[in-house]
Chain A
Amino acid sequence: MRIKITTTVTFPVAIYGVRALLLCYCMLLLACGGGSSNPAPKNNQPVSSLSFSSESSSAVSSLAAGVITLSGTVTYDFIPHNDNQVGLNYSASMKKAGRGLVIELLDASNRVVATTNSDNLGNYSFSVEYNKLVKVRAKAQLLRTQLPTWNFRVTDNTSANSLYVMDGSLTAATETTAIRDLHAASGWSGTGYTQPRVAAPFAILDSVLIGADKVVAAGNNSNFPALELRWSTDNKAADGELTLGEIGTSFYSDSAIYILGDENNDTDEYDRHVILHEWGHYLERAFSRSDSIGGNHMYDDKLDIRVAMSEGFANAFSAMMLDDPDYRDASGVRQAEGFFNNISQKNNDVRGWYSEASVQSVLYNFYISSSGKSERNFADIFSIVNSEEYAANIAMTSIFVFADVLRNVNQTQAAYFNDLLLEQNISITNAFAEGESNSGGYSGSLPLYSNLSVHGTPVNVCSTNWFGSFNKLAVAQFLLFDVPNAANYRIVAQKSGADSGEADPDIYLYSRGVLLDYAEGTAVDQESLSLSLQAGTYVVELVDDRARSFDDSEKITACFEVRAELIN
């Protein structure tokens, strides 16, 4: 049967009600030159905005007797940032395709009768029993079953981690209802979000899909670990109960990404760099390695080397995935405020291996360069962080390790990379930063790794919160511990020299980034760790717990003599 429809009818159902709906059906059926023996059913489903149009002139193709093709397009509202990079620009809202989503067809009992995925244009298609009452559901889920697989879902941490879905109306599947386009609206009415923020979960997923596609294009053929992205309109900047939305800020932990959604304060669903920054941390864990201890950070901070690498990578990653160096984060009343940062910037106020601004600048400028490589090819970076040499390096993850691995695998590319390092006051050296002379203004931060040998001369290191507590430069100090033979060893730290107050040293021992053991005792000014070790090289981390946990207003510096002993 081929039909051509020339009538155009558009009715807001909410205004005209069910009678108008039936009238619409009748008009369309008449236009089709007859109708069906099966009466068009009433649509009793509450739908926020449902309209019927018959602008299409394409043909209907029933696959077989009693079966009809039902198809449509899924879209969502995307809100870009203002041209000056600060705040969201609602007047520039645009429709984007809901790509790669799980689309379900549900019957009147809410049973799933068919499942498919939307394509890159947001299109989907089902074959369904003619006249069957069905509704289309777009799940906030990216599911890919061919290799490499992925499963990314947007859930609500304030509602038992339930999955967001967008539902169409329950309507009989006939020729007149064969095309069902679903749109996720932002809910913005000009002065605020007065309607459900349906678009938010789909905007988040689309950012993730940009990243996933680019990582696959970069050569990744490993399956992506499943990930939940937890977003809620109640997710606010208070540190407290996650189930109440008190998430503090958008962050990644090993189980999920939490995303702010608190209108007029801080929302991140349209901040693509923020989403991809956090997803970059997920990527590190999934396909690379990060030894970062996390925590708050900013471009002009002087950070723990592990944190500087991870945050600099995540910032650069977001810019690389979007091919947009302007990292933007909107917040404030009507989401009209916020800040931006040019990831490619080279003249950063703080430059060095401890600066996320330096790390992001080096990585991003390497990405866009064509010096010995194809420009804007993420494969050049992914192949390094995904390599065994990087992921199983003895040294803690840092820009030095990245550079060292790059030099080993591609000297042509390394030449330009070295130039970028020098621009950021980072020495060209090995993974352990031997010979690095940039101390960040504190001589005790060098060397990055002191050598600790069994029954050797005790090594003096100092832990300080001079640059801030927890994850800032020189809170943690690292020692390379060479174990000649398998045996039981003891590592001892004893405070040395004058210092304010009672120190609380803690010791951690790593093998290739894996924490093997630690000592966090309460003894004053001293700590020891005894354990059995195989021959090899380990990293010992020493921290004064006061420098780690005291707030920034109380400056702590404590120095320790660290020695290693053979027990038996």
Chain B
Amino acid sequence: MLNTFFVRGIKIFFAGVMLSGLHACESRPDPAATVVPSTEVVSEAKAGSDTDSPAKNGELAHEKKLHSKPGAAVSLKNSQPLYAAAPGIYEYELQLLSSSQSGKMAVVASIDDGVTIISPKQEFEFVLQEGGEYLLPLTLNISAEGRHYIQLHVSIAAGEQISTRVIAAILQVGEPAVKKAQKTSPETSAEGEEAVISLPAQETISPR
């Protein structure tokens, strides 16, 4: 069957190589520094105006204050979206990183409708080690354009402690939609009040 795929022309993309720069909408917020009362007179808080060398970029590298929930110590080496120009057969190689240096890591890969994992291996197991990078080769049959997600269910067992994390790699096939269709149309109340998403109640009406 793979020969057929080669006849059709296997387009090989590696995670982290084909990056699309698809981020255009709302980005993660960069929160302001926590301000607490200070009894000491100090110079006014500012943003690096007196640094003695040019800044690397406009973003304060130090502050990406996303306080996330606990989860297994694993992440994608590159979380940028994967890109495919059109439906077809593609091979990808996702790379996971973990700061855990002992234990075992199990990964189960899956994907949503419109894409099928056709590589025989969709479940992986690794022995964690120092500086380890963990490769997940996946061959995908993409039948529909759009934004898809490769879901990785990760479980790390170290000693008696088991931790999990779900990671999703973005796969953009074709051009990204300018604006995603709303799955639920917000309803605007009368007199210009706030937009709401109306969900149906299970209602029981009875006399008093």
B-side residues, CB < 8 A to A, are 22-29, 31-56, 60-73, 75-77, 79, 81, 97-100, 131-133, 147, 149, 151, 153, 155, 158-159, 161-170, 180, 182-184, 186-187, 189-191, 193-208
Contacts and interface: CB of A to CB of B under 8 A. Distances in A.
Interface string A547-568: 0110111110000000000000
A236 B43 contact: no
A246 B170 contact: yes
A253 B97 contact: no
Interface stretch (A162-170, A218-226, A368-376, A417-425): A162-170
A532 B43 contact: yes
B94 to A, nearest CB: 12
Interface magnitude class on chain A? 35 or more
Nearest to A294: B65
Contacts of A332: 153, 164, 166
A255 B31 contact: yes
A59 interface: yes
17 contacts: A112-B189, A159-B197, A165-B199, A178-B208, A180-B205, A236-B168, A241-B25, A249-B68, A262-B168, A289-B36, A296-B75, A301-B99, A349-B161, A518-B48, A519-B52, A528-B52, A534-B42
A337 B55 contact: no
Given A242-B26, A278-B69, A296-B73, A517 B46 contact: yes
B50 A530 contact: yes
Given A52-B205, A179-B208, A300-B161, 4 more contacts: A156-B184, A182-B202, A337-B155, A520-B61
A514 B69 contact: no
A236 B149 contact: yes
A51 to B, nearest CB: 5
A244 to B, nearest CB: 6
Contact of A314 (B34, B67, B75): B67
A162 B194 contact: yes
Nearest to A8: B206
A268 B38 contact: no
Contacts of B201: 47-48, 136, 138, 166-168, 182-184, 198
Given A181-B204, A182-B202, A281 B79 contact: no
A28 interface: yes
A163 B55 CA distance: 40
B26 A549 contact: no
Interface string A53-77: 1111011110000000101000000
Given A156-B184, A339-B162, A388-B37, A253 B66 contact: yes
B101 to A, nearest CB: 9
B190 A111 contact: yes
A311 interface: yes
A277 B69 contact: yes
Interface of B is mostly: loop
Contact of B191 (A48, A111, A490, A520): A111
Contacts of A178: 206-208
A60 B72 CA distance: 57
Contact of B54 (A110, A159, A297, A522): A522
Nearest to B35: A514
Contacts of A513: 33-34, 36
Given A253-B66, A295-B64, A521-B52, A392 B39 contact: yes
B155 to A, nearest CB: 8
A147 interface: no
B23 A241 contact: yes
Nearest to A10: B204
A278 B67 contact: yes
B207 A472 contact: no
Given A238-B149, A238-B168, A545 B61 contact: yes
A540 to B, nearest CB: 13
A316 interface: no
A300 B66 CA distance: 20
Nearest to B185: A159
Contact of A158 (B40, B72, B168, B180): B180
B16 to A, nearest CB: 11
B176 to A, nearest CB: 9
Query: 5 closest pairs, A vs B, by CB?
Result: A521-B53, A254-B31, A468-B99, A238-B168, A519-B51
A431 to B, nearest CB: 15
A520 B48 contact: yes
B48 A163 contact: no
A116 interface: no
B168 A237 contact: yes
A138 B167 CA distance: 34
A553 B97 contact: yes
A490 B22 CA distance: 41
Given A238-B169, A301-B73, A244 B52 contact: no
Nearest to A28: B207
A165 B190 CA distance: 15
B40 A293 contact: no
